């Protein structure tokens, strides 16, 4: 089981790194650019992963709870702005998103200071529910894009899948303490599939750009 979770972590982080590289190349080469928030999302997640590794192996910290407030607030801000860019919303909604993200950050930070456990609040649950609703709305709104090979639709689909299952696993984790390793393996597999959808989407953008320049 230990080897399985190590393999799942390696796969997840490998696809995450490949997705970021493809995102940067896509932003530079593609004539039909995806929103910068797609690359920002991958970059943010990779940044959190790097900080976790730095905290564990360099600072030799026994816990990474101090990073959780940045994760829950930043993730919400980036993902919702990704959706808002697709909906072409005004900057007012970006400001509102930023305020809500700050509330999630503050809640998690206070919980970390008082209980040394930043994950016991409602921020992650509300964040994931909001992301799920946005992803579902965009999937319904853009369902016809599947016929036109819309590059963003596959990402919306896997964001919906990932955050739906992730929320469920988060809710049952405390009740299934003996199965936590299995839950983490499932989560890593799902994240690998999610990052793979970003790789595919960015690669499609690069290919389309290359064909248009021929």
Higher pLDDT, 10 or 30: 10
Would residue 210 count as lying in a domain?
A: no
> How far, in Å, CA of 159 to CA of 52, rounded?
23
Report the percent of the chain where pLDDT is more than 70. 85
- For residue 148, pLDDT over 70 is answered with no
Higher pLDDT, 119 or 127: 127
Burial of 120 (0-12, 13-18, 19+ CB in 10 A): middle
- For residue 141, pLDDT over 70 is answered with yes
What pLDDT band is residue 172 in, cutting at 50, 70 and 90?
confident
Q: Average the pLDDT over each of 9-18, 42-51, 66-75, 138-147 and give the range with the smallest value.
A: 138-147
What pLDDT band is residue 60 in, cutting at 50, 70 and 90?
confident
Mean pLDDT of 11-22: 94
Mean pLDDT of 12-17: 95
Q: What is the pTM of this model?
A: 0.89
**What's residue 171's pLDDT?**
82
**What's residue 16's pLDDT?**
96
Would residue 65 count as lying in a domain?
A: yes
Would residue 113 count as lying in a domain?
A: yes
DSSP state string for 95-106? HHHHHHHHHHHH
Q: How many CA atoms lie within 13 Å of 179's alpha carbon, on the beta-carbon side? A: 10
Would residue 168 count as lying in a domain?
A: yes
Higher pLDDT, 132 or 214: 132
CA dihedral 134, 139, 142, 148 (to 10 degrees): 140
Mean pLDDT of 8-19: 94
CATH number assigned to the domain comprising residue 131 = 1.20.1070.10
**Residue with structure tokens 């993730």?**
75
**Residue with structure tokens 């919702």?**
80
- For residue 175, pLDDT over 70 is answered with no
Would residue 152 count as lying in a domain?
A: yes
What pLDDT, in 10s, does the model give residues 110-122? 999 998 888 888 9
Mean pLDDT of 178-195: 86
> How far, in Å, CA of 37 to CA of 19, rounded?
13
- The separation between CA 148 and the C-alpha centre of its own chain, rounded to angstroms, equals 25
> In the chain, how many domains are there?
1
Q: Which residues contact 88 (CB under 8 A, 6 or more apart)?
A: none
Sign of CA dihedral 12, 40, 142, 101: positive
Q: How many CA atoms lie within 13 Å of 159's alpha carbon, on the beta-carbon side? A: 30
> How far, in Å, CA of 11 to CA of 15, rounded?
6
* DSSP designation for 31: S
Higher pLDDT, 62 or 188: 188
Could you tell me the residue range of the domain that residue 187 belongs to?
A: 2-205
Would residue 78 count as lying in a domain?
A: yes
Q: How many CA atoms lie within 13 Å of 192's alpha carbon, on the beta-carbon side? A: 15
Report the percent of the chain where pLDDT is more than 90. 55
Would residue 212 count as lying in a domain?
A: no
User: Mean pLDDT score of the chain, rounded to an integer?
Assistant: 87
What number of H helices and E strands is found in the chain?
A: 7, 0
Would residue 67 count as lying in a domain?
A: yes
């Amino acid at each position: 089981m230990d080897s399985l979770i190590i393999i799942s972590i390696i796969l997840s982080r490998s696809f995450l790194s490949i997705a970021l590289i493809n995102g940067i190349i896509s932003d530079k080469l593609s004539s039909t650019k995806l929103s910068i928030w797609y690359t920002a999302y991958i970059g943010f997640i990779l940044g959190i992963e790097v900080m976790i590794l730095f905290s564990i192996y360099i600072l030799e910290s026994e816990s990474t709870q101090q990073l959780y407030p940045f994760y829950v607030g930043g993730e919400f801000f980036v993902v919702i702005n990704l959706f808002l860019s697709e909906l072409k919303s005004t900057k007012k909604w970006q400001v509102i998103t930023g305020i809500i993200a700050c509330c999630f950050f503050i809640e998690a930070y206070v919980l970390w200071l008082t209980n040394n456990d930043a994950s016991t609040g409602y921020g992650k649950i509300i964040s994931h529910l909001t992301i799920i609703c946005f992803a579902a709305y965009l999937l319904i709104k853009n369902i016809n894009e599947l016929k036109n090979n819309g590059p963003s639709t596959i990402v919306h689909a896997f964001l919906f899948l990932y955050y739906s299952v992730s929320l469920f696993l988060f809710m049952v984790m405390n009740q299934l303490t003996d199965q936590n390793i299995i839950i983490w393996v499932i989560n890593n597999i799902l994240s690998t599939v999610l990052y793979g959808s970003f790789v595919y989407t960015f690669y499609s953008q690069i290919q389309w750009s290359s064909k248009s320049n021929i």
